[in-house]
Amino acid sequence: MKILIKNGRVVDPANNLDEVCDILIESGKISKVGKNIKASAEKTIDATGKIVLPGLVDMHVHLREPGREDKETISSGTKAALKGGVTSVLVMPNTNPAMDSAENIKLLQQIIKDSAKADVFICGAITKGRLGQELSDIKALKKQGVVAISDDGASVDSDKLMEEALKLARDENILLISHAEDKTLSNKGVVNLGLTSTRLGLKGISKESEYKRVARDVELAEKLKAPIHIAHVSCKESVEIIAKAKKRGAKVTCETAPHYFSLTEEAVLSYDTNMKMNPPLRSKSDLGVRKTKKISSLSARNSGLSAWKLNSLWQSRS
């Protein structure tokens, strides 16, 4: 079937394209991109005033299934993703059961097959149950089809275990995504340590709890010449550590989410629990995590920790 998309603002960074033009699709592939395409198509979409993008990839998404279907499911989450223009997601393994074995991955793959509305890639768990005690069988996870591993929601506290995991990921050629948080420092905090925690009378999460762990993760990865990807960077100190490591040639990449460069801790001041997250919203000086162009260390942007936020954030186009 031929589909013609007319007059949209076509944005295609891979081909340095950002202009109003037409796209012709034939048999499921894009056959022509140009101005004023004359072709007879079974379906014509008038995209005047609209933006036409390649399907977006969100590489940090929580779909909560299996285990917390009351919060979200593969189906509801991918539906929401499509609404925001995201056609591929990388789903985090902090499910119940965690994605720490080939059997569990298989279970998830079946659910995806049955109910996913977008492409779902799987991130496996680094340690069994994400408890940080014993490594998962990472080779088996790779064989079953994961594209990355992470304990997201937790960090691997043991240096030894983290080193082994980095080595395995490096050798198996899958990406290790690190949720950098030293829980002894974040100490059950709920908002940023500082203005917000003091004014609201709540336990604060210090920036140290993030950037000190970032420093450790980056150091280990550098030492082993293994690639590492730091998840949801929230403060400028973390960005600086990563930038410096990159300059030295380490294979460090990282990601942040739109809320970390558009909102600050002031957003929680009314006790709005929609603004409560981990890592927490930080201060005005940390909004600079947005500066991708300058230091090109923010390699990916994604919707953040939970898919429920995805739709509204992309609508607001921060």
Partner 1 sequence: MSELIWERKDLLGLEDLSREEIEFILSTAESFKEVSSREIKKVPALRGKTVVNLFYEPSTRTRVSFEVAAKRLSADVINIATETSSVKKGETLIDTGRNIEALKADIIVMRHNYSGAAAMLARHVNLSVVNAGDGWHEHPTQALLDIFTLKEKLGKIEGIKVSVIGDIAHSRVARSNIWGLTKLGAKVTVCAPKILIPPGIEDMGAQVTDDVDEALHNADAVNVLRMQFERDESNAFPQQLEYFKNYGITEERLEKAKKNIVVMHPGPINRGIEMSSEVADGANSVILEQVTNGIAVRMSVLFLVAQANEFIKKNEDTN
Q: Give the binding site for partner 1 (CB under 8 A).
A: 193-195, 197-202, 204, 270-271
Q: How far is the CB of 230 from partner 1 (least distance, A)?
A: 25
What is the rounded CA–CA span in Å between residue 277 and residue 190? 8
Q: Which two tokens stand for residue 85?
A: 């223009």
Cis peptide bond upstream of 93, omega within 30: no
* 82 or 202: CB nearest partner 1: 202
Q: How far is the CB of 187 from partner 1 (least distance, A)?
A: 8
* 9 or 276: CB nearest partner 1: 276
Q: How far is the CB of 22 from partner 1 (least distance, A)?
A: 50
What's the one-letter identity of residue 279?
P
The DSSP letter of residue 127 is B
* 217 or 286: CB nearest partner 1: 286
What is the rounded CA–CA span in Å between residue 147 and residue 183? 27
* 94 or 209: CB nearest partner 1: 209
What is the rounded CA–CA span in Å between residue 30 and residue 44? 14
Q: Which two tokens stand for residue 8?
A: 């949209």
Q: How far is the CB of 196 from partner 1 (least distance, A)?
A: 8
Q: Widest CA span of the chain, in angstroms?
A: 65
* 57 or 195: CB nearest partner 1: 195
Residues 6+ apart with CB under 8 A from 180: 155, 210, 211, 213, 214, 217, 230, 231, 238
Q: How far is the CB of 164 from partner 1 (least distance, A)?
A: 33
The position carrying tokens 């285990």 is: 67
Angle at 58 between CA 247 and CA 261, to 5 degrees: 60
* 137 or 266: CB nearest partner 1: 266
Q: How far is the CB of 271 from partner 1 (least distance, A)?
A: 4
